[in-house]
């Protein structure tokens, strides 16, 4: 009797364990099956490389949004990656325990702030600051990059820190023994050894930045056009969806879902990249 119950429960747990597989299959199925017909109707080339997005006149080109997403993500990396890696090295190697006790919660709190609050902060502080001191209307690639740069910091810091801490102590001691300073030992021997972990951190940061919606939407301006400078407003793939989904119908609505498909493909590529980095590390 007990054997039977045990066996039944094993099957129950097995079925429960299938949920993530089912979820991924469902998400893929619904995204692709609802998005691809629209891409076919608009024409793949027209959709991906079209520079004009005017749904009321049947212009569905999302090149400006693809460029917008790539630009704000690149901007976020320029701001977030150097600060994040230096902070990670500091926390893993140079930080006195007393300061670590403060630094660690700081990183966790940054990770916990909801994106809507980042967006609101950006709208009230960053946008006016950019408008008054740097130029343009404020709602811009620059503002979005600053907010996203802060938002990806905790991801980059915590993943890099773990990678740096996993490097064997002997690397560091070897460099010290050869007469290098503490700083040089860490940056020239420990950091290169943690390279794949840091690459994973940056890739995760890219994924977070390119997929962020609400915070970007509140600061990026949302003009569907190719920008000329970082002070111009743009629209990203994510904000295209969230801005127009509320009132879109028919082909317009499907084109927004297709925008989601393009974003989804970007994310899947990033996931693959991440899996590749992890495998190489093992």
Partner 1 sequence: MKMRGKISSVILRIAMYVSAGLTAAALLFILGYILVKGIPNLASPGLFAWEYTSDNVSLVPAAINTLMLVALALVMSIPFGIGSAIYLTEYAKKGNKFVSVIRVTTETLSGIPSIIYGLFGMLFFVTALKWQYSILAGAATVAIMVLPTIMRTTEEALLAVPDSFREASLALGAGKLRTIFKIVLPSAMPGILSGVILAIGRMVGETAALLYTSGAVASVAKGVMSPGRTLAIHMYTISSEAFHTNQTFATAVVLLVVVFILNTLASFVAKKLTKK
Number of amino acids touching partner 1 (CB under 8 A): 85
Map residues 12-31 to x or -, x wherever contact with partner 1 holds by CB under 8 A: xxx-xxxxxx-xx-xx--xx
Classify strands 59-60 and 53-54 as parallel, antiparallel or unpaired: antiparallel
The HSE-up count of residue 222 (CA atoms within 13 Å, CB side) is 14
Provide the minimum distance between the beta carbon of 56 and partner 1 in the complex, in angstroms, as a whole number. Answer: 21
Stretch of 39-47, 83-91, 134-142, 170-178 lying at the interface with partner 1 (CB under 8 A): 83-91
Provide the minimum distance between the beta carbon of 160 and partner 1 in the complex, in angstroms, as a whole number. Answer: 11
129 CB-near residues (< 8 Å, 6+ apart): 138
* Residue of 48, 70, 83, 162 that binds partner 1 (CB under 8 A): 83
Nearer to partner 1, 114 or 229 (CB): 114
The continuous run of DSSP H or E covering 53 comes out as strand 53-54
Could you give the CA distance from residue 113 to residue 122 in angstroms, rounded to a whole number? 13
Could you give the CA distance from residue 192 to residue 260 in angstroms, rounded to a whole number? 37
Stretch of 36-44, 161-169, 170-178, 236-244 lying at the interface with partner 1 (CB under 8 A): 236-244
Q: Which of residues 157-216 bind partner 1 (CB under 8 A)?
A: 157, 180-184, 187, 204, 207-208, 210-214
Compute CA distances 12 → 1, 24, 75, 232, whole Å. Answer: 17, 20, 47, 55
Nearer to partner 1, 10 or 52 (CB): 10
Map residues 40-79 to x or -, x wherever contact with partner 1 holds by CB under 8 A: ----------------------------------------
Residue 212 and residue 238 in contact, taking contact as beta carbons nearer than 8 Å: yes
**Binding of partner 1 at residue 224 (CB under 8 A)?**
no
Q: Which of residues 100-129 bind partner 1 (CB under 8 A)?
A: 102-103, 106-110, 112-121, 123-125
**Binding of partner 1 at residue 34 (CB under 8 A)?**
yes
Q: How many angstroms from the chain centroid is the CA of residue 262? A: 15
**Binding of partner 1 at residue 280 (CB under 8 A)?**
no
**Binding of partner 1 at residue 248 (CB under 8 A)?**
no
47 CB-near residues (< 8 Å, 6+ apart): 39, 60, 61, 62, 255, 258
Break the chain down into helix, strand, coil percent, rounded to 5: 80, 0, 20
Nearer to partner 1, 52 or 265 (CB): 265
């Amino acid at each position: 009797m007990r054997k039977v119950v045990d066996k039944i429960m094993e099957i129950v747990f097995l079925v429960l364990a299938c949920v993530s597989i089912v979820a991924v299959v469902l998400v893929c199925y619904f995204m692709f099956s609802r998005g691809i017909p629209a891409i076919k109707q608009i024409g793949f080339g027209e959709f991906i490389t079209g520079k004009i997005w005017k749904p009321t006149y049947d212009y569905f080109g999302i090149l400006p949004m693809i460029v917008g997403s790539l630009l704000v993500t690149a901007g976020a990396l320029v701001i977030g990656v150097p600060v994040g890696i230096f902070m990670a090295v500091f926390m893993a190697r140079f930080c006195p325990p007393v300061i670590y006790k403060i630094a660690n919660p700081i990183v966790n709190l940054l990770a916990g702030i909801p994106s809507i609050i980042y967006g609101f902060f950006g709208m009230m502080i960053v946008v006016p600051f950019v408008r008054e001191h740097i130029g343009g209307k404020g709602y811009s690639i620059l503002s979005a990059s600053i907010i996203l740069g802060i938002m990806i910091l905790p991801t980059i810091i915590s993943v890099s820190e773990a990678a740096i801490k996993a490097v064997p102590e002997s690397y560091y001691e070897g460099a010290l023994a050869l007469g290098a300073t503490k700083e040089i030992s860490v940056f020239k021997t420990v950091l290169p050894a943690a390279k794949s972990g840091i690459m994973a951190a940056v890739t995760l940061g890219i994924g977070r930045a390119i997929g962020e919606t609400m915070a970007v939407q509140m600061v990026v301006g949302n003009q569907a056009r190719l920008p000329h400078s970082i002070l111009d407003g743009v629209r990203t793939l994510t904000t295209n969806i969230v801005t127009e989904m509320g009132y879109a119908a028919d082909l317009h609505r499907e084109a927004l879902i297709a925008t989601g498909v393009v974003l989804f493909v970007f994310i899947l590529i990033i996931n693959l990249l991440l899996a590749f980095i992890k495998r190489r590390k093992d």
